[in-house]
Structure 1
C-alpha cells in the first residue's frame, strides 16, 4: 500500500494543484489514469496485486465525492502523509481514516461486490478510533475528527440516524475541544470549566490553518443542518458565556489558502451573527464551503423563528421581515448553475445542494403560515419551484449522486400540499392533474438515479412514491 500511495503522490500532485486552484479550469476526469498507464508495462511483467488494486479503486471512487462526504484535508498532503507509513504499521489515526475512506469508496462505487465489504471496513475503522483518541495532539486528533465526519455522513446516508447523531456529536465535541471555532478570534482566550482541550500545535503554515478552518465549517454544517432535520439541539450554540462563540473566518477553497496568505494580525469576531444581521448585498467571491455554511445559518435561523411564530408581535414581525429579505438577497446572489462549466461536476453538485437548501429555508420560514394550504401564489410554492428549477439543470446521466437528498422531501411536501389544496377546492381535473404531478415525478426520477450510491435516496424515494400513490 505504501508503494502504491508513493506513486500516487508523484503522479497526482500536479493534477491536484490544478483541481484545487480557484483560478484553474476544473476539468474532472480519473486522476489516476496517468499513473495506471505508467504502470501498464509493469503489470504485464509482474504478478498482479489484487488487494492493492482494489483499495486503489475504492480510494478513487471516494475522491469523486469527497467534498460531499465532508473531506476537508488537503488531498496532496494527505497522500504524502499516509504514504510515509508502511501499510502493515499504520498508526491508529491513519488506519481509522483509511478504512472509512475505503468504506465510502465501496458505497460510492455502486458495485454490489464492493458494497458487500462495507461491514469489514466499518469494523476496522471503529476499532481504531479509541486508540487514536488517546493521542490528543495534531495531526492525530485532526485525522480522528476527519474520520468522525466521514462516519457521520456514512451513517446518515445509510438510514442509521442514531449512530450518525452519535458520531456527529463526537465530531462537534472534538472541534470545540480543539477551539476550531475560535481560530483567529479577536477575543481573549478562554477555557470552559471542566473542558478537555486538545493540544494542537500551532499550524505550520496557511494551508494547515486552512484545513482547520474548513474542518470547523464542515462540522458546523452537519451539526446545524441535521439538528434541524432531527429536531436535536446544536452543539455550536454561538454563546460567549458558554465559550462557544463562533469567531472563525469564513472558509476558502484549498487553493485559496495556498495562494492568498492573510495578514498575520487579521482577526475575526461574531462571524455568523454579523452575516445574519447584515442587510447589505452579498460579496461576489466566496468559496463553495462558505456559501454552504451561510445557507445552513439561514436555514437554522428560519427554523428557529418559525418555531417562535407570533405574527401579533411587532418584534417578531420585524425579525420575520428582516430574515425573509436576507434569505431572498442571498438566494438571488448565488452563482447560477447554468454558468458553471459542466465538467466541474463537484461544483455543480454542491451548488445544487446550496440552491435547494436555500429554497428549503424559505419553505421553513413560511411553514407556519402555509403548512396546510399551499397555493401557486404563496412563498413556499415559489421556493419549491426554484428548487425544482435547480434540480432540472442537472444532467442526471453525469450527476449520479447528490447530498443531502433529504431536502428534496421538504420540497416535495409543498407540491403534495398544493395538490391536496387544489383537490379540496375542486380545482383538479384530468387536464391539469398530470401538470401538478410532474414535479413529484421529476424528484422521484432523480432519487431513483441516486439510490445505487445512497440508501438514503432509496428510502426517500420509497416515502415519496407511497405519498404520490395516494394523491
Structure 2
C-alpha cells in the first residue's frame, strides 16, 4: 500500500505537459480546466489561457506567423525587388531564455516586445546589453502585457546617457547626476514612471534611424499610461508637468500638432493649478519651517526650472500653433507670474541664492528691467519666449480696418526697444563655444529676431518702415544660421522651425515685389539668403518631420515666382 501510486487522473494532479502555456511559463500549479484554468481566470487572463496538446498550433503561434507574413508582404509592396525569405519560427515555450532561437531574417525583431511602425527589420539587436534579469526582449513578451513599467537599470542608464546631451533640445533642465542615481533607489524614491518613460521615448526618437527608434511606441504608451495613473493618484505632480512637456515636444517635433497642442495645454494648466507660477514655498514646502525665507536648493531649483520649461512651451508654441496661451500673467496675485528667473542647474547644485525677487517677474521685464537680473542661459531662453509671444499677441490684436491709435503705436515702439535691449545683453554669436548651451543660445538669438518679424509683419504691406524692419529681422535669422555647424543640428530646438518659416515667408514676399521695389534689390542676394534658410530647414526636417511640409510650401512658392 505504501508503494501504491495515484492514478494520473486523480483530482489535484495534472499530467506533465498538460498545464496551460501561461501557467507553464510562470511555473504555477494549473488545474487544466477548459476553456480557462482557475489561475488564468483569477488573473482575468481567461482569453490568454491556451493549451498545447501537440496536435496543432496555438493562437499565439498562428498570430506570430501572421505578423511575419504581413511584415514581409509590406516590404514586397514597397520594394518590388525584395524577395521574401523563408522564415523559421520556433516555439518559445520549448526553449529556455538562455538558448538562442534559430537564425532567420526575423531574428532582429522577433525578440522585441515593442510594436514597431517600421516596415523593415533592423539589422542590429540589443541582445548584447548586459542584464542580470531575463532578457527584456524575449519573443514571448511581444504577446504579453508589459510586466515592467520601466526598463532594467542597465538599459535605463544607457537611455539616459543617450538623452542627456539632448535634454536642452526639448526644454528639460534637471540634474542628470541626481536622475541617474535615482535609478538604484527604491521605486517610491524614483521619479514618476510617466516622466522617465517620456525621457526614454526621446532617447529612442533622437536615435533615428538607428534600430533603437523602433521602440518609440512602447515608451510612448508607457508614458501616456503613467501620466493617466499619476493624474488619478495626484502623485509627483511636477514630474507629470515635465512628462506632459516632453510628450508635447515629441508630438510637435513629429508634426502631430493636435496631440502636441493638447499636451502643451495640459502641462500649462497643471502647472498653474499646482501654483508653480507663484514660486511660493507654501505650494512646495521643504523640510523645516515653512515660514522661513524662500530657498533655492536643488529640489526647489528643479521646480523653478520645471515652470519655465512649461512656460517656454506655452508661449512659443501658442504662436506657432495659433492658439491662446494657457498660463496667465494678470495683475491679480493668483494670476501673476511670480516665479524667479531660473538659474543654471549647476548653480542650484552649488546652493547659490536666487537672483532677483520673485514678484511679477515677466511684468517687470516688460516694464524695463531687461538687464537687472536673469543672465543664466535658461533665463535668457525664458525672456526670449516672453518677447516672442508678446510681439505676436500685440500685433495680431490690431484690427486692420481701424487706424492704429497713438497708445497702440507706443506699445509697439516700447516692445521693439525691449527686444533691442534684450538682444544687446546676449552673448555674441562669434563668442559661442561648442558647449551644451550653444544650441540654446542660438535659439534665443533666433527667437528675439523672429519676435520683430511677428511684431511688424501685419503692417509691412502698407508701411515701408515696418517692411524694412521685417526684412532686416529675417536676414538676421539667416545670419544666425551661418553660425550653426553641422553638428549643432542634432541638438537644436524644434521651435526654430516656425521661426525660420516666418523668416523665409518674409523673404519670399520680398522676392515677389523685387521688380517694383525702391531702391532696387539684387534678386540673387535674396535667393542666396533664402537658400541658407531652406538649407537649415531641410537639415532640421531630417530630424523633426514638422519642418518638411513648411519647407515644401516655401519651395513651391519660390518656384512660382
TM-score, normalized by the shorter chain, greater than 0.5: yes
TM alignment of 1:167-206, pairs within 5 A = 167-184=263-280, 200-202=284-286, 206=297
Paired residues of 1:366 and 1:379 also in contact (CA < 8 A) = yes
Report how far residue 296 of structure 1 moved: 1.5
Paired residues of 1:93 and 1:128 also in contact (CA < 8 A) = no
Which residue is 2:455 aligned to? 365
Q: Per-residue CA shift, 1:377-413, capped at 9, x if unaligned?
A: 7111111111111111111244324111221101111
Aligned-partner Cα distance in 1 for 2:452–2:392: 9
Report how far residue 180 of structure 1 moved: 0.8
Q: Per-residue CA shift, 1:15-74, capped at 9, x if unaligned?
A: xxxxxxxxxxxxxxxxxxxxxxxxxxx999x99978667655443332221112122332
Report how far residue 155 of structure 1 moved: 0.8
Report how far residue 238 of structure 1 moved: 0.9
Q: Which runs of 5+ in 2 are unaligned?
A: 1-127, 138-151, 289-295
Residues 153 and 238 (structure 1), Cα distance of their counterparts in 2 relative to 1, 3 Å cut:
same
Residues 459 and 117 (structure 1), Cα distance of their counterparts in 2 relative to 1, 3 Å cut:
farther
Paired residues of 2:459 and 2:466 also in contact (CA < 8 A) = no
Which residue is 1:103 aligned to? 201
Which residue is 1:149 aligned to? 245
Which residue is 1:331 aligned to? 423
Deviates more, 1:310-319 or 1:228-237: 310-319
Residues 48 and 111 (structure 1), Cα distance of their counterparts in 2 relative to 1, 3 Å cut:
farther
Aligned-residue Cα RMSD (Å) equals 3.3
Aligned residues: 407
Aligned-partner Cα distance in 1 for 2:532–2:234: 48
TM-score, normalising length from structure 2? Answer: 0.66
Residues 250 and 210 (structure 1), Cα distance of their counterparts in 2 relative to 1, 3 Å cut:
same
Which residue is 1:258 aligned to? 349
1:70 and 2:159 are equivalent in the alignment: no
Aligned-partner Cα distance in 2 for 1:47–1:169: 39
Paired residues of 1:110 and 1:452 also in contact (CA < 8 A) = no
Aligned-partner Cα distance in 2 for 1:263–1:120: 40
Aligned-partner Cα distance in 1 for 2:300–2:227: 24
Which residue is 2:337 aligned to? 246
TM alignment of 1:214-229, pairs within 5 A = 214-229=305-320
Which residue is 1:29 aligned to? none
Paired residues of 1:181 and 1:245 also in contact (CA < 8 A) = yes
Deviates more, 1:460-469 or 1:168-177: 460-469
TM-score, normalising length from structure 1? Answer: 0.78
Report how far residue 262 of structure 1 moved: 2.5
Report how far residue 184 of structure 1 moved: 3.9
Residues 398 and 269 (structure 1), Cα distance of their counterparts in 2 relative to 1, 3 Å cut:
closer
Which residue is 1:400 aligned to? 490
Aligned-partner Cα distance in 2 for 1:324–1:299: 11
Report how far residue 135 of structure 1 moved: 3.2
Which residue is 1:60 aligned to? 161
2:543 to 445, 453, 459: 453
Q: Per-residue CA shift, 1:407-430, capped at 9, x if unaligned?
A: 11011111111101103559989x
Q: Per-residue CA shift, 1:279-313, capped at 9, x if unaligned?
A: x6624761111111111111222112212336642
Which residue is 1:318 aligned to? 410
Paired residues of 1:396 and 1:446 also in contact (CA < 8 A) = no
Q: Which runs of 5+ in 1 are unaligned?
A: 1-41, 190-198
Q: Per-residue CA shift, 1:254-285, capped at 9, x if unaligned?
A: 11122353389x8521110110011x662476
Helix, strand or coil for the counterpart of 1:83? coil
Residues 261 and 428 (structure 1), Cα distance of their counterparts in 2 relative to 1, 3 Å cut:
closer
Aligned-partner Cα distance in 2 for 1:415–1:376: 14
Report how far residue 458 of structure 1 moved: 2.8
TM alignment of 1:386-425, pairs within 5 A = 386-403=476-493, 404=495, 405-425=497-517
Paired residues of 1:100 and 1:121 also in contact (CA < 8 A) = yes
Aligned-partner Cα distance in 1 for 2:262–2:133: 44
Report how far residue 326 of structure 1 moved: 1.2
Aligned-partner Cα distance in 2 for 1:43–1:367: 53
Helix, strand or coil for the counterpart of 1:65? helix
Residues 256 and 376 (structure 1), Cα distance of their counterparts in 2 relative to 1, 3 Å cut:
same
Aligned-partner Cα distance in 2 for 1:91–1:134: 19
Residues 128 and 281 (structure 1), Cα distance of their counterparts in 2 relative to 1, 3 Å cut:
closer
Paired residues of 2:432 and 2:438 also in contact (CA < 8 A) = yes
